[in-house]
Amino acid sequence: MKPQETKSTLLLKHHLKALKLPTMHSECEKVAARCARENVDHLGFLLQLCELERIDREKRASERRLKDAKFPNTKTLESFDFAAQPSINKLLVTELMRGAYLTQRESIILIGNAGTGKTHLATALGVEACGQGKRVRFWRVTELITHLIEAREERQLLRLKNQLAKLDLLILDELGYVPASKLGAELLFDIISTAYERTSLIVTTNLPFENWTEVLGSERLTGATLDRLTHRCHILEASGESYRLADARRRQTPKTSHNRAKQIGESTRKSKGV
Ligand code: ADP
Ligand code: MG
């Protein structure tokens, strides 16, 4: 390589770094060599580099969105066994995965007993939304309430509310496991009201609607919360048994049949005098 070329490559890399184009920075020489071999013209070379930068940038942004969403784990729809939970409306879940509800600012409520896959599905929908370029945040309701109360004490409530208002999708997991205090219920209601028709919500709960007063305390607040939540919302109900319980049972079954096979084998051997 001529000294002149080395100098211009160095300078180019310096510019690319300053312009925050890391993929062009790392790939420019490789792509230039390939384009020279394949007789690709200058504009073709620039096009290839720009495409690489855009693909990488989208990948990095998607990874950042996933990190910011703070999912407890990254469950996907591929690992969800609909046959194990036939009460879940598979058609509706598949439709929701496409994300039109997010553009329409609609919400989703997942109702069912513990272990029926509510958090799994809420996470899968959230992960998919991140992939579609949406800003998502996953909160367990009890943790969000604690966070809201702390923010209020530290005069940071407005800041937290502004952060939540920037989201496209707010996931509220496990509404109903622990009753909220009066202040907690009011702060939660405030978040739900602010999100109304602006941010999509996914709420998972083990409680039928008629029991929500147990969590939110006052009937007035429960009525107002339900009024907002259930307007323009999709309801997914899981009425089956816990997946963990069924899974544990499934794991035991082969062992039992294995033991039985062993017993049968032994008795056959005995009867044959082996
Ligand atoms: P819930 O939130 O309703 O209490 P989870 O979503 O936490 O239940 O499910 C409990 C565990 O069982 C998780 O590890 C989840 O991935 C798994 N699980 C639940 N339902 C299914 C299913 N239908 N297919 C695959 N895994 C499931
Ligand atoms: Mg759950």
Domain boundaries along the sequence of the chain? 3-65, 77-244
Q: Which pLDDT score, from 0 to 100, does residue 169 have?
A: 98
- Residue 251 CA to residue 247 CA, distance in Å, equals 6
pLDDT at 243: 82
Predicted confidence (pLDDT) at residue 255 exceeds the cutoff of 70: no
What's the chain's average pLDDT?
A: 89
Residue nearest to atom 6 of ligand 1 (CA): 117
- Ligand minimally distant from the alpha carbon of residue 120: 1
Tell how far the Cα of 17 is from the centroid of ligand 2, in angstroms.
44
Place of tokens 């995965």: 97
Residue closest to 189 by CA, chosen among 151, 226, 225, 231: 225
Alpha-carbon separation of residue 17 from 32, 45, 59, 60, 108 (angstroms): 18, 19, 19, 17, 43
Pocket of ligand 1 (CB under 6 A): 75, 79-81, 84-85, 112, 114-120, 204, 243-244
| Dihedral over Cα of 133, 139, 141, 147: its sign | negative
Identify the CATH number of the domain defined by range 77-244.
3.40.50.300
CB distance 227 to 84 below 8 Å = no
* Amino acid letter, 150: E
φ/ψ of residue 177, rounded to 5: -70, -35
Task: Report the residue among 205, 243, 249 best suited for mutation to probe ligand 1: largest number of ligand atoms under 8 A from its CB.
Answer: 243
- Res. 109: pLDDT tops 60: yes
The pLDDT assigned to 241 comes to 78
Higher pLDDT, 270 or 215: 215
Q: What percent of the chain is predicted at pLDDT more than 90?
A: 73
